[in-house]
Amino acid sequence: MARAAAAAGDSAARDEHLALARALLAQEPDEEDRAVVLAQVEDVPVR
């Protein structure tokens, strides 16, 4: 959702979804899984 919001130019929604993703990732116990998803989260464009 964050990537879609970024593509649509909706920075507020992008930021909201990125914050939610990071909060949920903090609860992921598997470090490798967390790293894979975090790399995708950090790749969301910021305009």
Three-state SS string over the chain comes to CHHHHHHHCCHHHHHHHHHHHHHHHCCCCCHHHHHHHHHHHHCCCCC
> pTM, whole model, 2 decimals?
0.87
Q: How many CB atoms lie within 10 A of CB 26?
A: 9
Distance of CA 14 to the CA centre of its chain: 8
Q: How many CB atoms lie within 10 A of CB 13?
A: 15
The pLDDT tens digits of the residues spanning 1-35 come to: 999 999 999 999 999 999 999 999 999 999 999 99
Confidence of residue 46 (pLDDT cuts 50, 70, 90): confident
The pLDDT of residue 28: 96
Instruction: Map out the domains of the chain as residue ranges.
Output: 2-42
CA gap 2, 8 in Å, rounded: 10
The pLDDT of residue 21: 96
